[in-house]
Every structure is written in structure tokens, then in C-alpha cells.
Chains A and B, each alone.
Chain A
């Protein structure tokens, strides 16, 4: 009993570590989450300043995603960086400010530069708005140049180039139409001088402790927008803008169904095969089975899936099964009863289940065989033979029971597959499970979903290890100390 309790206690730091890894991956993802959520383009047109409506939405999402909070319970950063750096949600902007501050050591000047650029954009856009169409036509070349220069200046980190762009802009805006923005640029050219190298003060840290942090919100919730992982809330999906847990519970069913059936079948088939090939060891039939299983194990699952889909679910060759999906696109026949529906659905389910099963069969039956062959050397087998027991009884009662332990250990590895499904198989056969969700999230940059599935499968793997350890103790009393 104390073994199980100890094991349970040890799994807590492991789960915490997995959660932290997930959080680190979430925080260090490049790109601006708010822009991904609101479908805003990365390149802003300086002529079209962001509308107040979108600004409001941005603020709202920053609150929801906890982006305006510091990352961890304490912050340790260089003293030349501004204190409120974490409040900037745009990762590119944040990176630019950090890089400029560290490479010049002049925080105030960098902040002045950022403010100046922002102000210039607004002023210039206002001045362009006031122009008449005729003036716009005559100034179009200059306007394009200015727009190009300001876009380059926005995220530039090279000091020499920044001065170059500011100079360019000063010259380009030197006309009566852009007098106010010209004034801003002249001011910036005079005041801002980034050409110095920083001193050793860059390495001096400032340490702050934060009552509210993103990690706290992610782990324990903030009582307003998120409940925290501890209560099963993995955040908000960037694509559907719904809580991730709704998606996960929908998808979990199909993943568990397919991989559960696959694993069950694999155990049901491979154990008899393993016992059989251990029983008839060193015969031609056994060697054939071994070679076949060995070859099966080396076939990549996507190759097998595509082959099955091509030759057994295709009008060109044989159309026995359905290639994709889990049920007819047009829905079931309304008159059909439950059993008929099941038969229709079986045509969709057999190929994925075969894909889930074949590699495990090869692996598990080899494992069964080798661990049974190991028991043959023990004296109790000799005793059983000497007693005159029938061969099959020796195999099943004496050998197989002692060969069970490795099979149980392997069961721990089965657990995460059960939950996470298989990214490859599910996306080949378009099963709406966790694997497909992961796959589509990869392409839509839906990072919270990826991290959510990652964390969940990690937690379930720890649970699987725990269960297998407990089973291990039950089967083999020698371990209990």
C-alpha cells in the first residue's frame, strides 16, 4: 500500500512539470495571439490606422487571454528594459523594443522613438486624408516612398538603418502638405541618437514579484475568464473562439473508440499468436509467422493506410470499404434500425481499426513469444513436464502466466494513444478525433489547442504509468517491499 501512495505522490511533480513545459511552449510561440484571433494581417498599412472598434476588441481579447499580465510569479530582467514591457502584446513590437534597449542601453530614447513612430503614423494618415484627389495624384510617388520607409522603420533593430530611415522620412515629408509630420520627424532626428554602445548596466537585473501572473491564470484560473487547468479548462481556441474543452470532449469519444477497439483487437489477436508461436518454436510455420510479423512491423502506418484506401476503398480497384469519414455524408437511411446503421458504419470503421491494430499485433505477439520462451528455462517448467501435464496446459498455466508481466508494462504506453489518437491515421481517414484536431490546429496556428491536447495526453500518460505500476504490484508480489 505504501508503495502505491509513494508512487501517487511522485506523479504530482511529474504532472506539474508537463504543465510547465506546455506553458513555456505556449508563451514562447512567435506571433501575436490577438492578431491571430482577430484575423488581422501582420503587415499594417500606415495609411489605415486601426479603427477604435478593433482597438476595443483587441483590449478585450488581451484581457481574456491574460496577455497583459506578467508571465510568472516573479520577473527578472535587465534594468535597461522598461518595467511595463510585458504589457505590450504584439510580440514583434516587444522583440524590437527589447533588442533596441539591450543594444543601446538608452531606454527613454527607445521609448521616445516608438512613441514618435506611432505619432508620425497617425499624423501622416490624417494629413493624407485631408489632401484633394488632384494633390494625391501628384504626390503618389512620394507617398508610396514614405509608406515603404515607415513600414521598414517600424520593426527595424539595426541602429544605423533606423537613422537612415528617419533621415529619408525627413527629406520625403519636406513639403507644405506634410508640415506637421515633417515637424515630428525633424524633432526625432534631433533628439534621438542611438549610436552608443551600452555599458555594463545591461547586466544589472531588476527583480519584481507579481501577485497576478499568466502562469497563475493558466494553472489555477482567475475567477473571471478562465478556470485554469486544474479544473479542466485549457483556454480558448483561436479559431472557433470557444473554450477548448468543448472541442476536446467532442473529439475524445472518437479517438477513444477507434484506438480502444484497435488496442483491444491487438491484444486479443496477438496473445494467441504469441502463445502459438512459442508452442511451436523452431518449426517452419513459426518462422513464417515471425518473418511476416517482422515485415508488418516495418511498414509505416501512412503507407499502409494509403494503400488500403487506394485498393480497398476506391472505385478504380475494389470498393469494399469507405475511404474517409465515420458515417455517410448525407446521413443514415431514415428507415434503418440500429443494427443496419451499425453495419453501414462498419464499412467506415474497419480500415482505420486495421491501421491501428497491425503494428501493435506484430509488436505484442513478438513480446509474448520472447517472454514465454524465457520462462522455458526455469525449473518449474521441467517440474510441470515431469508431472506429465499436457503440453498446452504447461504453456497456458505455467508459461503464459509468468510471461504476463512485460505485456502489462507495455499497457502503460497504450494509454496516451487511447487519448491522443494517432495524428497520422486520423488525418488519413478524416476521423474527427484528437489527432485530426491537432493536425488542423497546426495549420491554423491554433496554439492553445495544440498545447491543450499535449498537456492532456501528458497527464493521461502519467496516469497510464501509474496504473501499470499498480497492476505490476498486483501481478508480481515480489516487488512489494
Chain B
């Protein structure tokens, strides 16, 4: 295989970028495996010749046989796995659930003192201490990793989808490429309000039919709105074309896509991000999905602006012109020639966006806004430390977790940015 010269993947990275990538891989692994790293359920249990793997499934109750009690059904919710006799058990590395109080270690036990206080196996140490209710901090941090990463990645994914779509069409089509018949244009303008009206009705009937009352109501509504509006606009475009052909009325106008998108970007970047997020959070229910959507739809403007600029730079270059001359469709040019060439800036904005989203999410949950209280996050753990200033571990460790994650992402983003800079690449 021929190695592409000056490609992003062929560059040798510095030691600190390598360290950042290593740390990030570790953090992502911790986040994805949090349910098996920190859980009170044993990973493996052998009782009466039967083998179970409680940590890997969601079974509500188990039937175990012990010498004293005989055969008995145990409920997972409130059972003490440690006291189960006559069984072979292998516990998770951190055998505590987040947010589950351990009365023997209640009232702010620091990381070191807790070691000698209760007689337990070496594995059952609270490595990073506990809070007032005796909840294990390390377990909380590990589970917080998964929440933070989930919110960070998915919200920026949404922002990237919107940003790439609007940015490329604005940069590529500009105001002078997409010519539509005058009738289509007028019909499109006229059918926007009826489209919203129909989308509202459709979303009502869809919610009624599929019983979306609790889960995904916002996502469902957004999809139905987008789908209906697209359909209506397409319909009016086609109708306009038909009228155009029937009456041979040769007037055509350009769709001012760039002006529209630029105005939208300006409006969205004029609204202070945190203010928009707090206002939306006050209106919507508290859930992780809603936080993802809120952060996603409030941070697309910067990405769209960047991508529009990059597309504008490439738009009049020779390879696009020759692709046009070959007779490729606009969609194919964007997909095959434009997007691969702006993948670098997209990656940079993705990395920085994830770090910003993690910061916003932890700031919000520090203020107890947005993420529900029963979901444990880094910001929430840090806010817990404010109740007792003696418990330094409650402030330092969650804060450090956020700091390391954001630092690694920023280092990686800076590295990508400098690699994309032609001046630096020339030297390498």
C-alpha cells in the first residue's frame, strides 16, 4: 500500500500526545466498562454446582442454597453478597455501587483511615474515601466517566451533524448555485407555516399511536418536524417545477442558502451558550438525553461557521471544477471530494467540542441543573465536597478527573491543529 505523504496518520507524534492518547483510551475503556469495574455484584459466583455471572446480566433475583438457611430466593436490590456463605465468589475490582451507602464507612471517611477500621478483605477498601452517606467515591468517579463521555460524545455528534450539513451546503451552494423556478420558491415560502402546522399534528398522532409519553418524546418530535418540513418543501418544489413546465414561465431565482445559514449562525452565536442551556434546561424535563440534545443544539454554530469557511476555500479549487466538468452531481462532489478534504478541521472541532461539552455538563451538574439527581456525575460529586470542607478528597479527585480528561482532549486537539497547519507540516 502506498503511504500518503503528509497525511495525518503518517505523522509521528510527540511523547505528550502519545501520553494523552493513552490516557484517553484508558478513560474511554473505564467509561464503557464502568458497569463491570465498579459494582457490588460479583463477576462470578458458584453455588451448589451452579455458575452465575451477576455483574453481566440484569437478573432481579437469584436462588442460592446455604447451610444455615437452605434454599432461599435473594433480591438483588438489597442483598449483601459478601455474607453469602458456601459459595465461590469473584468480586469486581471496586466492589461498591455508586450512590449506595455503606453504613460502616459513613460520615466522611478519608482514603487512608478507612483501611484499618473494619475487618474486611483487602479488596473492600474505599480507595478514595467516602462521603456523608458512606458512598464510595472511586465507584462514583468511574460511573461518572461513562456519563460524561456519553454526554460529551453524543452531544458533539449532534452538533457535528447539524454543523456539517448546514456548513457544507452554505459554503458549497453559496447564493448563486441552486437555481429554482420562481413558482417553486414562492410555494416553498408559502408552505412553511402550513408545514409547521401539519408537523405539529403529525407529532401529536405519532405520540398518541406509539405511546412515546415517557421516552424519547423530544427526539421523536424533532424527527417528525424535520421529516414533515422536508417533505412539504420537496413537494412544493416539485409542484412548482410542474407549473413551470406546464406554463413555460421561464423565470428562475437563486435560493439564498448562504445568507440564510449565515444569519442562523449569527443568531445562534449571539445567544450566550450557558444562558441558552440553562433556559432550555428550565423548560425541559431533567434527563441525560435532554442534556445531550440541549448541548448539541446550542453548540453547532461554531462548527458550522468553521466548516462553511473551509468549504468556501475549497469551492473554487481545480479538483472541484474538474469534478463538475466530469458531470458529477453536487451531492456526490460534496460527499466524495469535499468532505474528505475538510476531515481535518472536522476532527479538530470534534475533539475541542467534546472537551467543551464535558466542561459544560460537569458545570451544570455542579449547579444541580440538567442531569437528574440519581445519575452520578463528576460535577455532582464535586458539589458534594462543598458541604464539608474537611473532606478534601471529595473536591480534589472528581475535579482532577475532569481536569485530566479535558487536558488530554485539549492536547490532542492542539496537536491535530498544528499538524493541519501547512507551515508545520512542511517542516516535518
Closest beta carbon of chain B to A474's beta carbon, Å: 21
Closest beta carbon of chain A to B73's beta carbon, Å: 34
Is A451 positioned at the interface, with any CB of B under 8 Å from its CB? yes
The answer to whether A205 touches B271 (Cβ under 8 A) is: no
The answer to whether B359 touches A205 (Cβ under 8 A) is: no
Q: B residues within 8 A CB of A21?
A: 267, 271
Instruction: Tell whether A438 pairs with B275 under 8 Å between CB atoms, given A99-B204, A203-B201, A450-B282.
Output: yes
Q: How far is the CA of A306 from the CA of B379 in the complex (A)?
A: 11
Q: How far is the CA of A299 from the CA of B402 in the complex (A)?
A: 8
Contact with A along B367-410 (1 / 0, CB 8 A): 10100000000010011011001101001100100110011001
Is B266 positioned at the interface, with any CB of A under 8 Å from its CB? yes
Is A269 positioned at the interface, with any CB of B under 8 Å from its CB? no
Contacting B275 at CB < 8 Å: which of A14, A297, A420? A420
Contact with B along A387-428 (1 / 0, CB 8 A): 000000000000000000000000000001100101110010
Q: A residues within 8 A CB of B406?
A: 298, 300
Q: B residues within 8 A CB of A310?
A: 385, 389, 392, 395
Q: B residues within 8 A CB of A457?
A: 271-272, 275
Q: B residues within 8 A CB of A470?
A: none
Q: How far is the CA of A297 from the CA of B409 in the complex (A)?
A: 12
Q: A residues within 8 A CB of B414?
A: 294
Interface locus among A23-31, A168-176, A247-255: A23-31
Interface locus among B59-67, B153-161, B190-198: B190-198
Q: B residues within 8 A CB of A202?
A: 201
The answer to whether A303 touches B278 (Cβ under 8 A) is: no
Contact with B along A72-89 (1 / 0, CB 8 A): 000011100000000000
The answer to whether A301 touches B197 (Cβ under 8 A) is: no
Is A465 positioned at the interface, with any CB of B under 8 Å from its CB? yes
The answer to whether B363 touches A302 (Cβ under 8 A) is: yes
Is B100 positioned at the interface, with any CB of A under 8 Å from its CB? no
Closest beta carbon of chain B to A229's beta carbon, Å: 15
Q: B residues within 8 A CB of A461?
A: 270-272
Q: How far is the CA of A129 from the CA of B396 in the complex (A)?
A: 62
Is A13 positioned at the interface, with any CB of B under 8 Å from its CB? yes
Q: How far is the CA of A202 from the CA of B205 in the complex (A)?
A: 11
Q: How far is the CA of A445 from the CA of B362 in the complex (A)?
A: 22
Q: A residues within 8 A CB of B280?
A: 25
Could you tell me the dominant secondary structure of chain A's interface residues? helix
Is B208 positioned at the interface, with any CB of A under 8 Å from its CB? yes
Is B234 positioned at the interface, with any CB of A under 8 Å from its CB? no
The answer to whether A438 touches B379 (Cβ under 8 A) is: no
The answer to whether B275 touches A453 (Cβ under 8 A) is: yes
Instruction: Tell whether A300 pairs with B363 under 8 Å between CB atoms, given A29-B283, A316-B390.
Output: yes
Q: B residues within 8 A CB of A22?
A: 279
Closest beta carbon of chain B to A78's beta carbon, Å: 6
Smallest Cβ-Cβ distance to A419: which chain B residue: B272
Is A361 positioned at the interface, with any CB of B under 8 Å from its CB? no
Q: How far is the CA of A12 from the CA of B283 in the complex (A)?
A: 27
Contact with B along A305-337 (1 / 0, CB 8 A): 011011000101000000000000000000000
The answer to whether A25 touches B359 (Cβ under 8 A) is: no
The answer to whether B272 touches A14 (Cβ under 8 A) is: no
Q: How far is the CA of A29 from the CA of B282 in the complex (A)?
A: 8
Q: How far is the CA of A180 from the CA of B209 in the complex (A)?
A: 38
Q: A residues within 8 A CB of B359?
A: 300
Is A128 positioned at the interface, with any CB of B under 8 Å from its CB? no
Is B281 positioned at the interface, with any CB of A under 8 Å from its CB? yes
Is B366 positioned at the interface, with any CB of A under 8 Å from its CB? yes
The answer to whether B276 touches A299 (Cβ under 8 A) is: no
Is B263 positioned at the interface, with any CB of A under 8 Å from its CB? yes
Closest beta carbon of chain B to A366's beta carbon, Å: 10
The answer to whether B283 touches A25 (Cβ under 8 A) is: yes
Contacting A297 at CB < 8 Å: which of B204, B366, B410? B410
Interface size class of B (residues with CB under 8 A): 35 or more
Which B residues, 315 to 350, have Cβ-Cβ distances below 8 Å to chain A? Answer: none
Smallest Cβ-Cβ distance to A16: which chain B residue: B267
Q: How far is the CA of A68 from the CA of B355 in the complex (A)?
A: 45
Instruction: Tell whether A78 pairs with B282 under 8 Å between CB atoms, given A302-B379, A453-B275, A465-B270.
Output: no
Closest beta carbon of chain B to A115's beta carbon, Å: 24
The answer to whether A454 touches B276 (Cβ under 8 A) is: yes
Which A residues, 275 to 314, have Cβ-Cβ distances below 8 Å to chain B? Answer: 294-295, 297-303, 306-307, 309-310, 314
Smallest Cβ-Cβ distance to A20: which chain B residue: B267
Instruction: Tell whether A306 pairs with B275 under 8 Å between CB atoms, given A25-B283, A297-B410, A461-B270.
Output: no
Which A residues, 82 to 123, have Cβ-Cβ distances below 8 Å to chain B? Answer: 99, 102-103
Is B226 positioned at the interface, with any CB of A under 8 Å from its CB? no
Is B274 positioned at the interface, with any CB of A under 8 Å from its CB? yes
Closest beta carbon of chain B to A328's beta carbon, Å: 20
Of B204, B279, B395, most A-chain CB atoms within 10 Å: B279
The answer to whether A303 touches B399 (Cβ under 8 A) is: yes
Instruction: Tell whether A102 pairs with B201 under 8 Å between CB atoms, given A14-B270, A300-B403.
Output: yes
The answer to whether B267 touches A303 (Cβ under 8 A) is: no
Closest beta carbon of chain B to A461's beta carbon, Å: 5
Contacting A458 at CB < 8 Å: which of B271, B282, B382, B390? B271
Q: How far is the CA of A344 from the CA of B382 in the complex (A)?
A: 30
Is A447 positioned at the interface, with any CB of B under 8 Å from its CB? yes
The answer to whether B282 touches A424 (Cβ under 8 A) is: no
The answer to whether B403 touches A424 (Cβ under 8 A) is: no
Q: B residues within 8 A CB of A424?
A: 363, 366-367
Smallest Cβ-Cβ distance to B358: which chain A residue: A300
The answer to whether B271 touches A18 (Cβ under 8 A) is: yes
Q: B residues within 8 A CB of A427?
A: 367
Q: B residues within 8 A CB of A29?
A: 282-283
Closest beta carbon of chain B to A390's beta carbon, Å: 27
The answer to whether B385 touches A306 (Cβ under 8 A) is: yes
The answer to whether B197 touches A76 (Cβ under 8 A) is: yes
Closest beta carbon of chain B to A381's beta carbon, Å: 16
The answer to whether A306 touches B399 (Cβ under 8 A) is: yes
Of A298, A423, A445, most B-chain CB atoms within 10 Å: A298
Of B276, B282, B363, most A-chain CB atoms within 10 Å: B282
Instruction: Tell whether A302 pairs with B382 under 8 Å between CB atoms, given A13-B263, A30-B283.
Output: yes
Is A439 positioned at the interface, with any CB of B under 8 Å from its CB? yes
The answer to whether A423 touches B367 (Cβ under 8 A) is: yes
Is A442 positioned at the interface, with any CB of B under 8 Å from its CB? yes
Closest beta carbon of chain A to B371's beta carbon, Å: 13
Is A462 positioned at the interface, with any CB of B under 8 Å from its CB? yes
Q: B residues within 8 A CB of A50?
A: none
Smallest Cβ-Cβ distance to B202: which chain A residue: A203
Q: A residues within 8 A CB of B385?
A: 306, 310
Contacting A442 at CB < 8 Å: which of B194, B197, B281? B281
The answer to whether A439 touches B267 (Cβ under 8 A) is: no
The answer to whether A438 touches B363 (Cβ under 8 A) is: no
Closest beta carbon of chain B to A376's beta carbon, Å: 11
Which A residues, 1 to 46, have Cβ-Cβ distances below 8 Å to chain B? Answer: 13-14, 17-18, 21-22, 25, 28-30
B residues near A (Cβ < 8 Å) are: 193-194, 197-198, 201, 204-205, 208, 263, 266-267, 270-272, 274-276, 278-283, 355, 359, 362-363, 366-367, 369, 379, 382-383, 385-386, 389-390, 392, 395-396, 399, 402-403, 406-407, 410-411, 414
- A299-B399, A310-B395, A316-B390 are known; give 6 further A-B pairs, CB within 8 A: A300-B359, A300-B402, A302-B383, A306-B382, A420-B275, A457-B275
A/B interface sample: 14 pairs, CB < 8 A: A17-B267, A22-B279, A30-B283, A297-B410, A298-B403, A298-B407, A303-B403, A306-B386, A310-B385, A310-B392, A417-B272, A420-B272, A453-B275, A462-B270
